[in-house]
Amino acid sequence: MNNKNFVSWKAPSNIALVKYWGKLEGQIPANPSISFTLTTCYTETSVHLKKLENPSDDFQFDFFFEKQPKPSFHPKIVTFFNRIYKYLPFLKDYRFEIYSENSFPHSSGIASSASAMAALSVCLMQIEKQLNPNISEKDFWQKASFLARLGSGSACRSVQGSVVVWGEHQSIPNSSNFYGITYPFEIHDIFKNYQDTVLLIDKGQKQVSSSVGHDLMHNHPFAEKRFEQAHTNIDHLISAFAQGDLEQFIEVIESEALTLHAMMMTSLPYFILMKPNTLEVIQRIWKFRQETKTPVCFTLDAGANVHVLYPDSYKNEVLQFIKDELIAFCENNQYICDRLNSNY
Ligand code: PMV
């Protein structure tokens, strides 16, 4: 429940199907991306606020992660607040206590910045709405996504909508580089409750952060072709979504995942975030798909974990396959069953 001194929001994680990799000044994506919003992986954030007698020169807040004070997160929040201050001038009028919790295990290798920045942005917009009650529903969500983008690019896709597009694309009206929009076209029923089982291959800290990775797309020898390809892949995905064409869907999704990692391997300096077990899992998914004709495929984010994607109607057989063959490649046999959030 929200009152004047307390706001809260639960924002889900998302997994990109067409990937955002490379950005311009001001968190503008170098190419459009599209994602599934997830269900069981989320961040829940609450903010307690106290009006200051005199507005402060800097930002006054405490941050608690899983109920413990986390001063190590402060610089990230200060950077975020500095970026959004001109859009939310009330930020220096209050002292905030920010509490954040993830539904997924800490250091699981699952990026939490998308859900965390989305949850915090919606909380801040709730405060904004108390101060400007006339803000329309549409402007509220658009600005929340706009702010989330300034926290972490992919966070703007975790604010509203179950399938979300971020970045201008000529086939998608109203698509924007500044915020995510709900995918506006028809999606075949086969994608309803689409399953995403996240295999936790490596829970360690990544050697190269996403922001360094994005930066390495400047002067990257294949960047321009890659950005063009993302546009083309979105067109292919639009048609796969409409027709329920799983073959085309799988081709786009796996090609996007491998291209993302190919960009990392061909950056200077080059780097590899996949682990040997990532490749083992991919080979086994391909073999299983070929032998059983089950439409299961994988995607990767900027790490070693594998997202196994498949229609809800194939849940039993794919989960059995995962248990029989893939779990052995996960750290401590850990995996998370998630799915497309059709109601967000
Ligand atoms: O939002 P960032 O800056 O952490 O970048 C996310 C990049 C990928 O997860 C690899 C792709 C994407 O579109 O989410």
Confirm or reject: Cβ of 31 under 6 Å from ligand 1. Answer: no
R_g (Cα) of the chain, nearest Å: 20
CA-14 nearest atom, ligand 1:
14
Q: Is residue 178 part of a domain?
A: yes
Distances (CA, A) of 124 to 37, 80, 145, 153, 161: 21, 12, 11, 17, 19
Look up the pTM and report it: 0.96
Backbone angles phi, psi at 127, to 5 degrees: -65, -45
Q: What is the pLDDT of residue 204?
A: 76
Pair (167, 222) in one structural domain: no
Instruction: Report helix, strand or coil for 142.
Output: helix
Confirm or reject: Cβ of 302 under 6 Å from ligand 1. Answer: yes
Compute, in angstroms, the gap from residue 154 CA to the centroid of ligand 1.
Answer: 5
Q: What is the pLDDT of residue 335?
A: 95
Compute, in angstroms, the gap from residue 213 CA to the centroid of ligand 1.
Answer: 10
CATH number at residue 47: 3.30.230.10
Confirm or reject: Cβ of 29 under 6 Å from ligand 1. Answer: no
Query: Where does 266-344 have alpha helices with state H?
Result: 276-292, 315-321
Nearest CA-CA partner of 344 in 41, 3, 19, 18: 41
Pair (162, 198) in one structural domain: no
Pair (20, 134) in one structural domain: yes
Pair (140, 218) in one structural domain: no
CA-211 nearest atom, ligand 1:
3
Confirm or reject: Cβ of 278 under 6 Å from ligand 1. Answer: no
Element (H, E) at 25: none
Pair (260, 297) in one structural domain: yes
Compute, in angstroms, the gap from residue 173 CA to the centroid of ligand 1.
Answer: 23
Confirm or reject: Cβ of 113 under 6 Å from ligand 1. Answer: yes
Pair (100, 198) in one structural domain: no
74, burial (CB in 10 Å: exposed 0-12, middle 13-18, buried 19+): middle
Q: Is residue 324 part of a domain?
A: yes
Confirm or reject: Cβ of 277 under 6 Å from ligand 1. Answer: no
CA-166 nearest atom, ligand 1:
13
Q: Is residue 27 part of a domain?
A: yes
Domain count, the chain: 2
Pair (140, 244) in one structural domain: no
Inter-axis angle of helices 113-131 and 137-151, nearest 10: 140
Residues 289-331: pLDDT tens digits? 999 999 999 999 999 999 999 999 999 999 999 999 999 999 9
Pair (177, 210) in one structural domain: no
Q: What is the pLDDT of residue 1?
A: 44
Last residue of a domain, one of 138, 157, 182: 182
Q: Is residue 1 part of a domain?
A: no
Q: How many CA atoms lie within 13 A of 29 on its CB side?
A: 32
Residues 29-65: pLDDT tens digits? 999 999 999 999 999 999 999 999 998 899 999 999 9
CB burial of 200-222 (b: ≥16 within 10 Å; e: otherwise) equals bbbbeebebebeebbebbeebee
Compute, in angstroms, the gap from residue 189 CA to the centroid of ligand 1.
Answer: 27
Cα distance between residue 193 and residue 338, in whole Å: 9
Q: What is the pLDDT along the chain (344 residues), one digit of tens a residue?
A: 456 899 999 999 999 999 999 999 999 999 999 999 999 999 999 999 999 999 889 999 999 999 999 998 999 999 999 999 999 999 999 999 999 999 987 766 676 899 999 999 999 999 999 999 999 999 999 999 999 999 999 999 999 999 999 999 999 999 999 999 999 999 999 999 999 999 999 987 778 889 999 999 999 999 999 999 999 999 999 999 999 999 999 999 999 999 999 999 999 999 999 999 999 999 999 999 999 999 999 999 999 999 999 999 999 999 999 999 999 999 999 999 999 998 88
Compute, in angstroms, the gap from residue 96 CA to the centroid of ligand 1.
Answer: 28
Pair (217, 303) in one structural domain: yes
Confirm or reject: Cβ of 341 under 6 Å from ligand 1. Answer: no
Q: Is residue 165 part of a domain?
A: yes
Which structural domain range is residue 11 located in? 6-182
Pair (178, 234) in one structural domain: no
Contact predicate 192/312, CB 8 Å: yes
Pair (232, 155) in one structural domain: no
Compute, in angstroms, the gap from residue 302 CA to the centroid of ligand 1.
Answer: 7
Confirm or reject: Cβ of 194 under 6 Å from ligand 1. Answer: no
Last residue of a domain, one of 141, 158, 182: 182
Q: What is the pLDDT of residue 109?
A: 65
The percentage of residues in the chain with a pLDDT greater than 90, rounded to a whole number, is: 91
Pair (105, 254) in one structural domain: no
Cα distance between residue 262 and residue 168, in whole Å: 24
Confirm or reject: Cβ of 318 under 6 Å from ligand 1. Answer: no
Q: Find where tokens 């005199």 sit.
A: 54
Q: Which amino acid belongs to residue 119?
A: A
CA 27, 15, 137 angle in degrees (round to 5)?
65
Q: Is residue 344 part of a domain?
A: no
Last residue of a domain, one of 148, 182, 216: 182
CATH number at residue 218: 3.30.70.890
